[in-house]
Amino acid sequence: MASRNSRGKGQESQKKKGELKDRVIELERSLRQYRNRNSVIELRASLSKIKEMKKRIEELEATMQNCEIRIKSMDHIIEEAVVQIREVTNHIQTLVMQADMLSVKYELKSDRGQELALLLRKIRILSKTN
């Protein structure tokens, strides 16, 4: 009777082992499916972030190109201004030389000429300080 009892328990134990194996297989399958679903969700989220970052990069590149265009335009304007300033400076220097000649000429002629010469000297002094 003891051997029947132990045989019955052995069969029952084998049956439980089989059920546990089946359950483990089922749980492993569920776990794989769960992980796969999570991976898909994570991949979609990553893809969405990548798309957002690409869009932001495109916006930044467009902004950068606009800034480069504006800088080139400003450089051109500055170059033109420098050329004009040089021309004005040359013209002022010519006027200063003419004023010097006139002041010498008028100093010799009359009181009015001396006043004019004084004014021309003041102009020359002002042009040197600016």
Please check the confidence at residue 1 and state whether its pLDDT lies above 60. Answer: no
Distance CA(21)–CA(91), nearest Å, equals: 103
Helix boundaries (H) for 1-130: 2-107, 111-129
How confident is the model over 36-73, as pLDDT tens digits?
887 888 888 999 999 999 999 999 999 999 999 999 99
pLDDT score at 67? 97
Distance CA(100)–CA(121), nearest Å, equals: 7
What the block records as the tokens of 58 is 């495109």
pLDDT score at 35? 82
Q: In which band, very low, low, confident or very high, does the pLDDT at 96 lie, cut at 50, 70 and 90?
A: confident
Distance CA(3)–CA(1), nearest Å, equals: 5
pLDDT score at 33? 86
Distance CA(48)–CA(46), nearest Å, equals: 5
**Intra-chain end-to-end CA distance of the chain, in Å:** 126
